[in-house]
Structure 1
Amino acid sequence: MEFKSALNNVRVSPRKMRLIANLVKGMNAQKAQAQLGSFIKKDAILILKLLNSALANVKHNFSDEIKPENLFISKIVVEGGPMLKRWLPRAMGRATPLMKRTCSVKLVLAEIKPGTQKIKVKKSQPEILKPEEASVQPAEIKEEKAEIEKEEGLKDMAPSRPYDASGQSKKRHSARQTFGNIKKVFRRKSI
């Protein structure tokens, strides 16, 4: 059986986080804890916390059936998260963009030897209503769908353009929005 745990929006570059994640992939959970505890890097501490959280979840939810010695890291995936975009002031009033990268880590623990006891998961069955018991009749549903389609038809109309149809005005509008034409961030003289 697999046990999943995730760590989202960590303020560490995914490239740096993958270096540590690849070291513990496929390791026994307890060996991975010892390995991560010996690293000095910030990334190792974060992955160790995630691993401890996953083991605590297993212990809390399945205390009788599964032992932590029988678990290993079957999969650990590091994906890029949203970037924080900042500016760094440079010489002569210019600015350089900074991309502060974030990542999300997904950890999957699995059993080394599958347990003899199967864990029972209750599946709920949906209730089936008879047509007489239903509060909304089919005719009312059709009327509501027709009203919704009319409203959606009005929403699908194309928005007006911020520029005229001519090519020159379109070029003028896009030229103002380009990255290189941003006004100087720090002015030397007041206006």
Structure 2
Amino acid sequence: MGSRKKNSAENRKEALKTQYFARLNDVPTSPRKMRLVADMIRGMEVNKALGVLKFSTKEASARLEKLLRSAISNWEQKTEQKAENGDLFVSAIHVDGGRMLKRLRPAPQGRGYRVRKRSNHVTLFVDSKNSINVSNEVADGTKN
């Protein structure tokens, strides 16, 4: 590996240490169905998002609820604080396409129709409202 690639990889790893996230790979639902549920909780406070996911009828909501609980746990472990304060929210959520299983379904007159079984990868970031205010003050050079 070249030194430039190595340096950029190390910088990316350092940046991820200051972010709190959870990742779910190869979920056997289509990305479109998962994005419908992800759009419901984007930018929401964590406790409200857990309630929305718990009472949603979508199949993807159970998986996202478990992922959100994992992200909260990661935040608690890295910051050594409890999440009950209510200042934690879903800062970003990304749903990307995963691998696709290609199958054949029998069709009339000896033909076959292709069936694509899609999967996806979900990355969920959580952050506290206090840390955003502190980072904005540092960037602006002002402090209240």
TM category, shorter: 0.7 to 0.9
- Amino acid paired to 2:55: S
Kindly indicate whether residue 83 of structure 2 is the aligned counterpart of residue 67 of structure 1. Answer: yes
Distance 1:115 1:91, change over 3 A: closer
Name the CA distance, whole Å, in 1 between partners of 2:43 and 2:132.
Answer: 19
Of Structure 1 and Structure 2, which has the larger fraction of its residues in strand? 2
Name the CA distance, whole Å, in 2 between partners of 1:20 and 1:99.
Answer: 21
State the partner residue of 1:103: 120
- Amino acid paired to 2:83: K
Question: Structure 2: any 5+ residue segments left out of the alignment?
Answer: 1-17, 135-144
- Amino acid paired to 1:90: A
Q: Deviations over 1:64-86 (max 9, x none)?
A: 3x534221001001010110000
**1:61 positional shift:** 3.3
Question: Structure 1: any 5+ residue segments left out of the alignment?
Answer: 118-191
Distance 1:92 1:115, change over 3 A: closer
Kindly indicate whether residue 21 of structure 2 is the aligned counterpart of residue 14 of structure 1. Answer: no
* SS of residue in 1 equivalent to 2:130: coil
Name the CA distance, whole Å, in 2 between partners of 1:67 and 1:46.
Answer: 20
Q: TM-score, normalised by structure 2?
A: 0.74
* SS of residue in 2 equivalent to 1:76: strand
Kindly indicate whether residue 19 of structure 2 is the aligned counterpart of residue 2 of structure 1. Answer: yes
Q: Is the 8 A contact 1:2 1:111 kept in 2?
A: no
Distance 1:79 1:116, change over 3 A: closer
Cα RMSD for the two superposed structures: 2.0
* SS of residue in 1 equivalent to 2:131: coil
Q: TM-score, normalised by structure 1?
A: 0.57
Name the CA distance, whole Å, in 2 between partners of 1:40 and 1:115.
Answer: 33
Of Structure 1 and Structure 2, which has the larger fraction of its residues in helix? 2
Quote the sequence identity (%): 35
Name the CA distance, whole Å, in 2 between partners of 1:49 and 1:19.
Answer: 17
Kindly indicate whether residue 55 of structure 2 is the aligned counterpart of residue 56 of structure 1. Answer: no
**1:91 positional shift:** 1.1
How many pairs were matched up? 116
Larger radius of gyration: 1
Q: 1:71-90 to 2 correspondence within 5 Å?
A: 71-90=88-107
